[in-house]
Amino acid sequence: MSGFLLRQRGLRGKTVASMRSSLADFLAFLADAGRGPQGLADRLPPHRHLRHESEPHLWTAEEIRRLLAVIDRQSATGKRDYAMILMTARLGLRISDLRHLELGDLDWRAKTLTIIQHKTGRPLSLPLLDDVGWAVIDYVRHGRPGTACAKVFIKHRHPFGAFGGSSSVATRLSRYAARAGIGFPPGQACGMHSLRGALAVAMIGSGTPIPVVSAVLGHASSDTTQAYYLRFGTERLRCCALDVEDVLSRAGAGERGA
């Protein structure tokens, strides 16, 4: 199987990553069922799918409302997808942190969510907003398959365990968007991470201080937030625009003074 994966290197990176994930799930299933040795899934060749550098789609509040409205919350998978997408849109959690989120990370009495971020290794504590909390409760009580896995969001195919290195939530996100009639211009990234970016831009646009935005996103420094997200705050950038005639007149005065 390793040789098979290596021969697929000519395919799109995302296709190879999905193929590897499926093989790893199958090998883990065989091991759990006693029909194969343990640890084979971890011995598959590593493959990391790198996203192309592209501008994220800046979702509007109306688009997010329409997106959530088309999800079938009567189905178990719909309950899970709704909670995951809502958690990213409202709290800005990375997809990696959603995959690693555990039931013990949720403090229902204090209404807080506390994790160690998978990407940075830094702690992050966020308020567990009411709509997010009820969506998680609905999934855990009425949609989540019975399993000993401690993760909140799990795969809905056997074995019912944690997500692997890639998940199909991003794929279903684009399907939900299409169902809601939301289109994306060519070259725009429209995955789960774009929802996180939309939250950051909305917070900046509403006048939220940059340190607060950084804290919500779990950035180690406000410089990271400013370097990436400030460029999308068109209205605030417009306030920084210089008058061309004023700049030219000052430049001319400087030349005469020299």
CATH code, domain with 81: 1.10.443.10
Residues 195 and 107 in one domain: yes
Residues 20 and 104 in one domain: no
Residue 155 annotated to the active site: no
Q: Which of 66, 172, 193, 228 is catalytic?
A: 193
Contact 73, 84 (CB under 8 A): no
* Residue 119: CA count within 13 A, CB half-sphere: 11
pLDDT at 251 exceeding the cut of 70: no
Residues 37 and 148 in one domain: no
Residues 79 and 35 in one domain: no
- Least Cα distance to 67 among 198, 182, 202 occurs for 182
Residues 197 and 131 in one domain: yes
Query: Across the chain, what does the average pLDDT equal?
Result: 81
Output the six-digit token pair for 199: 């939250």
Residue 169: alpha-carbon gap to chain centroid = 9
C-alpha span between 56 and 103 (Å, rounded): 30
pLDDT for 258: 54
Question: Residue 173: pLDDT band by 50, 70, 90 thresholds?
Answer: confident
Q: What is the DSSP letter of 112?
A: E
Residues 21 and 83 in one domain: no
Q: Which of 35, 119, 141, 238 is catalytic?
A: 119
Residue 94 annotated to the active site: yes
Residue 229 annotated to the active site: yes
51 part of a folded domain:
no
Q: Which of 20, 57, 155, 219 is catalytic?
A: 219
Question: For residue 40, what are the contacts with CB-CB under 8 A and spacing of at least 6?
Answer: 27, 30, 31
Residues 123 and 162 in one domain: yes
Q: Which of 94, 100, 144, 151 is catalytic?
A: 94
Mean pLDDT of 129-147: 95
Q: Which of 90, 229, 250, 256 is catalytic?
A: 229
Output the six-digit token pair for 98: 């959603």
More confident residue, 231 or 219: 219
Burial 242-251 (b: 16+ CB within 10 A, else e): eeeeeeeeee
Domain encompassing residue 76: 61-235
